[in-house]
Amino acid sequence: MIPISSVAIGTEEEELVLQVLRSGRLAQGPMVEKLESEFRAWSDAEHVIAVSNGTVSLVAALEALQLPRGTEVVTSPFTFVATVNAILEAGLVVRFGDIDPADFALTPESVEAAVTERTSAVMPVHLYGQAADMTRLMPLAEARGLAVVEDAAQAHGAKIDGRRVGSFGVGSFSLYATKNLMSGEGGLVTTNDAAVADRLRLIRNQGMRARYQYELAGHNFRMTELQAAVALPQLSRLEAGTKRRVENARRLTEGLAGIPGLVLPAVAEGREHVWHQYTVRITEESGTTREKVADRLTESGVGSGFYYPRPVYDYDCYRDHPGVIVEDHPVTERVSREVISLPVHPALSDGDVDTVVRAVRGALDVD
Ligand SMILES: *Cc1c(COP(=O)(O)O)cnc(C)c1O
């Protein structure tokens, strides 16, 4: 079976974890600081704050911006549920824009239409490893005085016009086990604003500036030394892993081009995709459905996934939620029924990628 994702852990991680265990210092300490400084050097952001997971990194980012309680955050309805849960957790209201089927991310036009006098922030999601259209979203946010939080959980290293995501607004990265950079669980917040960075450090550690000196009502969002010990060697292998993902994506696109009813993922002009997922759309023209394609792939020993099978609001717990405003989002409605992601991770050999190509062609009954 070729799995949809794979977790690769080397001897460096084993040795660093042992070193931490033997040091007796397990909670946030020097290893976490090292991860922050190495991620800062690698990123285009000036400050990096490590936290316990990607969801709380979104919560911390929203809280650090001091958005008035009950104001609205405009985000994508085509995302993992954490995006919505984080906004609610921060005491804010969720309003959605709609996506462009070309990059699966928020369109500036839909954000424009969703903004009201109660809007305080925009939260684009860089889905599957491709940056949202920050070139147009940033001036729009600036003109309306809106804060920007980037959900970059799936897009470590993705660029737009040569600049890495997470350096436009306040950036939020996940280090969950299957993400491009991982520590099992973990999160990183990035910002170029020193005051926001200062508040993030307080929020992470009970609002505490120094021992028993509390400056705000905070949380325990701290990362452990064990998490950082897993993340550090992963970070040094991230560029090589991304290169391999890019090569695998290129090979998939070459092998799958020109099939009616199969829409391949595109990289928008000026963007560098890091291929967290290689997501195709099975449209009506194919004469089949993505569910049938997934079944055929399983029979051929190829894993796949629906990310995400429904718009994020399409569950009773959100449709009936006072903090979630649901309007018409037709592109997300359609695209969420068509998407299927194929294996693209760095552990795949060229032969594996060719197996995926043959299996997809077979599932669509082409040669
Ligand atoms: C993974 C993910 C998150 C949440 O990260 P966790 O580390 O799992 O808490 C948030 N947003 C998106 C788009 C994600 O894919």
Give residue 298's pLDDT band: very low, low, confident or very high (50, 70, 90).
very high
Q: And the tokens for 75?
A: 């985000």
Give the closest residue (by CA) to ligand 1 atom 2.
Answer: 153
Count structural domains, the chain: 2
- The model's pLDDT over 7-40, given as tens digits with 9 standing for 90+, comes to 999 999 999 999 999 999 999 999 999 999 999 9
Cα 315 to Cα 97, 114, 151, distances in angstroms = 17, 21, 21
Q: What is the DSSP string of 281-302?
A: EE-GGGSS-HHHHHHHHHHTTB
Q: What is the pTM of this model?
A: 0.98
Give residue 366's pLDDT band: very low, low, confident or very high (50, 70, 90).
very high
Clarify whether residues 173 and 253 are in a common domain: no
Clarify whether residues 173 and 25 are in a common domain: yes
- The model's pLDDT over 205-263, given as tens digits with 9 standing for 90+, comes to 999 999 999 999 999 999 999 999 999 999 999 999 999 999 999 999 999 999 999 99
Give the closest residue (by CA) to ligand 1 atom 14.
Answer: 153
Could you tell me if residue 47 is inside a domain? yes
Of 202, 236, 270, the residue that ends a domain is 236
Of 236, 256, 273, the residue that ends a domain is 236
By most ligand atoms within 8 Å of CB, the mutation choice from 51, 125, 151, 308 for ligand 1 is 151
Clarify whether residues 329 and 190 are in a common domain: no
Cα 267 to Cα 22, 51, 160, distances in angstroms = 46, 31, 11
CATH of the domain at 332: 3.90.1150.10
Of 192, 209, 236, the residue that ends a domain is 236
d(CA 268, CA 220): 39
Could you tell me if residue 5 is inside a domain? no
Clarify whether residues 229 and 310 are in a common domain: no
- Quote the ligand 1 centre to 312 CA distance (angstroms): 13
- The model's pLDDT over 50-96, given as tens digits with 9 standing for 90+, comes to 999 999 999 999 999 999 999 999 999 999 999 999 999 999 999 99
CATH of the domain at 46: 3.40.640.10
Mean pLDDT of the chain: 98
Instruction: Provide the domain limits for residue 334.
Output: 238-363
Clarify whether residues 222 and 344 are in a common domain: no
Q: And the tokens for 19?
A: 């070193």
- Quote the ligand 1 centre to 23 CA distance (angstroms): 31
Give residue 367's pLDDT band: very low, low, confident or very high (50, 70, 90).
confident
Among residues 254, 128, 120, 107, the alpha carbon closest in space to that of 180 is found at 128
Could you tell me if residue 4 is inside a domain? no
Q: What is the DSSP string of 213-268?
A: EE-S---B-PPPHHHHHHHHHHHHTHHHHHHHHHHHHHHHHHHHTT-TTEEPP---
For ligand 1, which residues put their CB under 6 angstroms from it?
A: 53-55, 79-80, 82-83, 125, 151, 153-154, 174, 176, 187
| Helical H segments across 24-100, by residue range | 30-42, 54-64, 82-89
Give residue 335's pLDDT band: very low, low, confident or very high (50, 70, 90).
very high
* Whether pLDDT at 363 is above 90: yes
Would you call 36 helix, strand, or coil by DSSP? helix
What mean pLDDT comes out for the span 105-122? 98
pLDDT in the model for residue 164: 98
Clarify whether residues 38 and 124 are in a common domain: yes
Clarify whether residues 180 and 317 are in a common domain: no
Could you tell me if residue 1 is inside a domain? no
